Amino acid sequence: MSGFGKNCKNILKYLCSTGKYEVVEFANAYKWSDPSLETLPWKCVGSGPDERSIIIENNNDTILSREMSYGLLKLDEIIKQEKPDIYIGAEDIWAFIKTTKKPWWNKITCMLWTTLDSLPLLPESIDIAKNTPHYFTWANFAKEELHRIGLKHVKCMHGAIETKSFYKIKKETKEQIRKANGIHKDDFIIGFVFRNQLRKSVPNLLDGFKLFKDSGSSKSSSAKLLLHTGWHEGWDINSLIKEKKINKEDILTTYYCENCKKYSIQPFSGDSKDCSMCGSNQSLKTISVKNGPTEKQLNEIYNIMDMYCHPFTSGGQEIPIQEAKLCELITASTNYSCGEDMNTEQAHGLALEWSEYREPGTQFIKASTRPESIFCQIKKVSEMSEKEKQEKGLKSRQFVINNYSTKIIGSQLEEIIDSVKPHSFNFNFSEKKINPDYTPPRISDNSGWIIDLYRNMFSIYLKKEDPSVQKWSNEIKNGKNKSEILNELRKIALAEIKHEDSETLFRKKIKRVPDKANRIGVVCQGGRYETFLSTAMLEELKNLYPDKKIFFITHDQNRPILDKNPHIEEFLPFFEGCDNQALMEGAGSEGFFHVCYILPKLQNAKNLHHNGNDKISEALKK
């Protein structure tokens, strides 16, 4: 029931209905072999690993956990298995930072369809756009900014909306639904459909609503605010209502029964309670992305409303605004980010004014919607004639049909796909990373341990039923020590390395900066933790030697931590002898670096050593 989920469903249904394509969905939040995915009308494979031990291990690492949630652990495997002619990634930009570095990237047709919602744009999103000919944003806001900085190939393609599911119902039906939910036919209902995230401006909306209630306007006494959301996450809405001294009877919400699948609109009285419709205990709950009304029921909920108000700090598209327009509601939304598309003359939306604030850390510009503007737009709609609301509502609906409907967006995708030539896959698109030095984590499940070992030592993705997994598992059962197996596989890995060894590669890359006097070396012998700690010194190192280039030498598995580090000229793979300072610095014209700083493994930190021409130690003592 998320925006990405709705768009994915609508697009897959459309593409399958053409009968022209073999469609494969690579689904996040599901395991690779999840049997429930077999019920879909198209092929669907989960992006997560099957092995519980691997999931637990990756969840203990913040970086790996995030990569796993975006499907990156199994992405190469699905590409190898399905050999697609076109890859379409529809996800947050964070999912593609590593994807675009894959060796198969742009060797097949690759298209990104991503939500960018704040200025200044994330630098990674700009770098990715430069390397992606088929790059689409969900809102014009981001497209225009990318055009401004020279990336004119970027286009906007909105998320797809199923327009048949949302429409204005008859007045009599609306009154019946209201009556069934204890709402008077003359009550003035302002609605907000949202996931209760902190970027949805609930406090601002409550302030604007209170201003309207206190205004003495003709509709103010009968006004109620309907918050269709989950009260179990995000904002503590109940506390906000008390703090702002709003009558709790004037704030409605949607309850949905997990048992009878019916909904009820009523004032909030706890996140879960007994269902009066079917009698089930504690089955009536506020909604979530996994538990909530059908599209038909949601259409009824929109139709209970007299206007729709959507304040937010930023957003990729905010699909409920389009759904509300399809129900011919007057919509008011924050005039920033994707909200700008909703408030144009053609869209017939009402703009909510905002004040700028900056998000800590990212420095993104975010919008704080002004409660006074919310009040003014609610008052404006409350005083509109029925004729004016009908005229604007009809035009708003047609705007969404013309620009956001599944038919329109699907046909745009169809045009892109039809322009793609079939690929022969006669290239080596696998990352041939063989790492004999890989040390596996403690994984109690034998099959999981072997699968992890092959993935990280050979870049080979196996399943439990594969012969290699069966073979080594049986040997462990028969008493063979895991350390013996690890040593055997390391010998195999070393034998399979046919390309340039690490030292040869090091000598080749180091020549990009011809003069030794212009090179600084950093060698990290440890793992990810030590590598992460070592990055703290790089800025100081660059300040000490502003005219020199820094080369960072460490094990391949540590490389993701160093990607995009602005102080590093080049990453170089660890090789035997690179932790020998005499070899690295030499004397006179010998050696490779003006200065080489050796960082030991954590347990050997007390043995730090460096020679006299190294100024870093003094700087680090400050």
C-beta atoms surrounding 20 within 10 Å: 11
Instruction: Give percent of the chain above pLDDT 70.
Output: 93
Q: Are residues 41 and 150 in the same domain?
A: yes
Report yes or no on 103 lying in a domain. yes
CB 246 within 8 Å of CB 209: yes
β pairing state of 223-228 and 188-193: parallel
* pLDDT classification of 496: cutoffs 50, 70, 90: low
Q: Are residues 461 and 509 in the same domain?
A: no
How many Å apart are CA 575 and CA 409, to the nearest integer? Answer: 51
Q: Are residues 176 and 101 in the same domain?
A: no
Q: Residues 339-359: what's their mean pLDDT?
A: 97
Show Cβ contacts of residue 296 under 8 Å, excluding neighbours closer than 6 positions.
165
191-203: pLDDT as tens digits: 999 999 999 999 9
C-beta atoms surrounding 545 within 10 Å: 16
Q: Residues 209-215: what's their mean pLDDT?
A: 97
Q: Are residues 297 and 388 in the same domain?
A: yes
- Domain range for 115 is 3-160+412-418
Q: Provide the pLDDT for residue 433.
A: 67
Q: Are residues 274 and 369 in the same domain?
A: yes
Q: How wide is the angle at C-alpha 523 spanned by C-alphas 518 and 528, nearest 5°? A: 135
Q: Are residues 155 and 171 in the same domain?
A: no
Report yes or no on 169 lying in a domain. yes
Report yes or no on 435 lying in a domain. no
Q: Are residues 43 and 190 in the same domain?
A: no
Look at the alpha carbons of 204, 206, 212, 215 in this order and tell me if their dihedral is positive or negative: negative
- Residue 523 corresponds to which tokens in the numbers above? 């060698």
Report yes or no on 439 lying in a domain. no
How many Å apart are CA 116 and CA 509, to the nearest integer? Answer: 36
How many Å apart are CA 494 and CA 476, to the nearest integer? Answer: 23
SS3 readout for 219-277: CHHHEEEEEECCCCCCCCHHHHHHHCCCCHHHEEEEEEECCCCCEEEEECCCCEECCCC
Q: How wide is the angle at C-alpha 513 spanned by C-alphas 510 and 519, nearest 5°? A: 80
DSSP 212: H
Q: Are residues 287 and 216 in the same domain?
A: yes
What sections of 24-182 are H helices per DSSP? 52-59, 62-69, 75-82, 123-130, 140-148, 171-180
Report yes or no on 317 lying in a domain. yes
Single-letter amino acid code for the residue at 60: N
β pairing state of 251-257 and 284-286: antiparallel
How many Å apart are CA 44 and CA 71, to the nearest integer? Answer: 13
Q: With b meaning 16 or more CB within 10 Å and e meaning fewer, what string describes 190-227? A: bbbbbbbeebbbbbbbbbbbbbbbeeebebbeebbbbb
Q: Residues 243-271: what's their mean pLDDT?
A: 96
Q: Is residue 278 scored above 50 in pLDDT?
A: yes
Report yes or no on 424 lying in a domain. no
Residue the block writes with tokens 């956001």? 404
Show Cβ contacts of residue 479 under 8 Å, excluding neighbours closer than 6 positions.
none
Show Cβ contacts of residue 461 under 8 Å, excluding neighbours closer than 6 positions.
74, 76, 77, 80, 451, 454, 455
Q: Are residues 55 and 178 in the same domain?
A: no
Last residue of a domain, one of 435, 465, 496: 496
DSSP secondary structure letters along 467-497: HHHHHHHHHHHTT--HHHHHHHHHHHHHHH-
Helix (H, G, I), strand (E, B) or coil at 44: strand
How many Å apart are CA 185 and CA 222, to the nearest integer? Answer: 10
Chain-centre distance of CA 327, in angstroms?
A: 29
Last residue of a domain, one of 352, 371, 403: 403
Burial of 119 (0-12, 13-18, 19+ CB in 10 A): middle
Nearest C-alpha neighbor of 354 from the set 324, 381, 330, 374: 374
Q: Provide the pLDDT for residue 494.
A: 80
For all residues of the chain together, what is the average pLDDT? 89
Report yes or no on 331 lying in a domain. yes
Q: How wide is the angle at C-alpha 551 spanned by C-alphas 548 and 555, nearest 5°? A: 165
Overall pTM surpassing 0.85 (yes/no): no
Q: Provide the pLDDT for residue 462.
A: 75
- Better-scored residue on pLDDT, 508 or 280: 280
What is the strand order of the sheet 570-573 is part of?
570-573, 549-554, 519-524, 595-599
CB 445 within 8 Å of CB 51: yes
* pLDDT classification of 457: cutoffs 50, 70, 90: confident
Q: Residues 555-582: what's their mean pLDDT?
A: 85
310-324: pLDDT as tens digits: 999 999 999 999 999
Show Cβ contacts of residue 603 under 8 Å, excluding neighbours closer than 6 positions.
none
Report yes or no on 427 lying in a domain. no
Please give the helix or strand (H or E) that residue 106 lies within, else none: none
Q: What CATH number should be reported for the domain holding residue 124?
A: 3.40.50.11930
Q: Provide the pLDDT for residue 124.
A: 86
41-81: pLDDT as tens digits: 999 999 999 988 888 878 877 777 888 999 998 998 899 88
How many Å apart are CA 578 and CA 232, to the nearest integer? Answer: 54
Q: Residues 496-513: what's their mean pLDDT?
A: 70
Q: Provide the pLDDT for residue 612.
A: 37
Q: Are residues 216 and 358 in the same domain?
A: yes
Q: Is residue 35 scored above 70 in pLDDT?
A: yes
Q: Is residue 605 scored above 80 in pLDDT?
A: no
Q: Is residue 497 scored above 70 in pLDDT?
A: no
Nearest C-alpha neighbor of 7 from the set 478, 451, 558, 405: 405
Q: Are residues 492 and 513 in the same domain?
A: no
Q: What CATH number should be reported for the domain holding residue 220?
A: 3.40.50.2000
Q: Is residue 328 scored above 90 in pLDDT?
A: yes
The total number of structural domains in the chain stands at 4
Last residue of a domain, one of 341, 373, 403: 403
Backbone φ and ψ of 239, nearest 5° = -65, -40
- Better-scored residue on pLDDT, 105 or 144: 144
How many Å apart are CA 260 and CA 192, to the nearest integer? Answer: 25
* pLDDT classification of 498: cutoffs 50, 70, 90: very low
Cis peptide before 123 (omega within 30 of 0): no
Chain-centre distance of CA 47, in angstroms?
A: 14
Residue 278 has, within 13 A of its CA and on its CB side, a CA count of 15
Instruction: Give percent of the chain above pLDDT 90.
Output: 64
Q: What CATH number should be reported for the domain holding residue 608?
A: 3.40.50
Q: Are residues 51 and 152 in the same domain?
A: yes
Q: Provide the pLDDT for residue 528.
A: 85
Residues in the chain: 622
Q: Is residue 616 scored above 80 in pLDDT?
A: no
How many Å apart are CA 110 and CA 135, to the nearest integer? Answer: 9
Q: Tell me the CA distances in angstroms from 344 to 349, 355, 367, 395, one per residue in order.
A: 7, 20, 18, 12
